[in-house]
Amino acid sequence: MRAVAIACAALLAYAQAGYAVLLAALTRLLRLPPPVPGPGTEEPPRVALIIAAHDEAPVIEAKVRNALALDYPRDRLTVVVASDGSTDDTVARAKAAGADLVLDLPWGGKVRAQDAAVDAVAGGADVLAFGDANALWEPDALRRLVAALRDPDVGYACGQVTFVNDSGTNQEGLYWRYEMALREMESRLHSVTGGNGAIYAVRPEAYLRVDAVMGHDLSFPFAIVKRGRRAVYVPEARATEKMVPSIEGEWARKRRMMSHAWPIVLRAGMLDPRGYPPRYALAILSHRALRYAAPFLHVALRAAGLARLGRAGRAERALLASQLLLVAGAAAGGRVRWRPLLVARYYVLTQASIAMGLWDWARHGTPAGWSAPEGTR
């Protein structure tokens, strides 16, 4: 039990902090440059910007206008709205806002709506770009993504999302800034292990047809790497999106996201190292496998500590006490708005969402349908 406790604590420490230290050391030691080439002088490629939408009447007009206002040649850009079984006037509003192509599709889920849009523009686009209906891109964002795809070795490029509240204040939080730092270093090391559905682009020949419950965010990067290309992060390609207004709301969103992520992890081949370069295999093991194992490592650590409670040494008692303090701090964070307690609450709920997402998927599967998190429209 003592060996179990030590192993679990070591793996948790590495997954949550040690991996970042290792990445920073590797990028400095190997002198790795940013993965995005400089601007080119050739004619810009034709781009289809695809916006999947389900009951997005409150935001779709603003999104289409934002897409049409991008700093990109208008004759090289096709704005496509793929309405996935919308029951409101999303289709009419998208047309009124000036979208080049609006698809009124039967319900099938976000991924199937994206597939239908890709089919609709087949042969007419050199780059497929994707954005969420509530994510507004900065004027140069599309040019930045396209520049990354000038490298023939790059098949996928994702941008950076900043979460804002109603007053426009940046509310990304410690967790999101930490994730973006990891993503930037992974991109320099080889490729990102996860993307962002709000702003990304892919070569048409690299586009993948995945299971309807498996979103592009997690399924595209590793699968594109297995096919011999890189998946990079372009932090200069920026978008803003309205944040979930509460930690509890974020817990519900992450639980739903993890119910879609677990099929990718366990069924789609993410954990199969075949086809991974060594650097990328390290990233998948560290950032995905161990990160998703973290809630179960916490449980094993606590069980091992309790099993040896009468014989525990000072270090083991400290580990057990730290876990109890973490849970107590998370509980207090629901009543006391003090930043350390809120961080503890966010961490504990995030770990719980990983485990509950697995429970949801194992118990009744994951529906392909989707809905906006409350308070983000």
Indicate if the pLDDT at residue 172 is higher than 60: no
Distance CA 260, CA 80 (A): 25
* Percentage with pLDDT > 90 across the chain: 69
pTM of the model as a whole? 0.90
146 or 247, higher pLDDT: 146
pLDDT band at 170 (very low <50, low <70, confident <90, very high): very low
Q: Is the Cβ–Cβ distance between 186 and 276 less than 8 Å? A: no
Q: Is the Cβ–Cβ distance between 267 and 221 less than 8 Å? A: no
Least confident of 82-91, 142-151, 316-325, 326-335: 316-325
H-type alpha helices, 157-311: 173-189, 216-226, 247-267, 278-283, 290-307
Tell me the pairing of strands 135-137 and 154-164: unpaired
Per-residue pLDDT of 228-253, as tens digits, reads 999 999 999 999 998 777 778 888 88
150 or 374, higher pLDDT: 150
Least confident of 26-30, 81-85, 103-107, 136-140: 26-30
Domains belonging to the chain, first-starting first, are 47-245 (3.90.550.10)
3 or 68, higher pLDDT: 68
Distance CA 263, CA 250 (A): 21
Residues 6 or more apart from 244 whose CB is under 8 A from it?
A: 250, 253, 373, 374, 375, 376
Return the closest-CA partner of residue 14 out of 282, 348, 266, 307.
282
Distance CA 313, CA 311 (A): 7
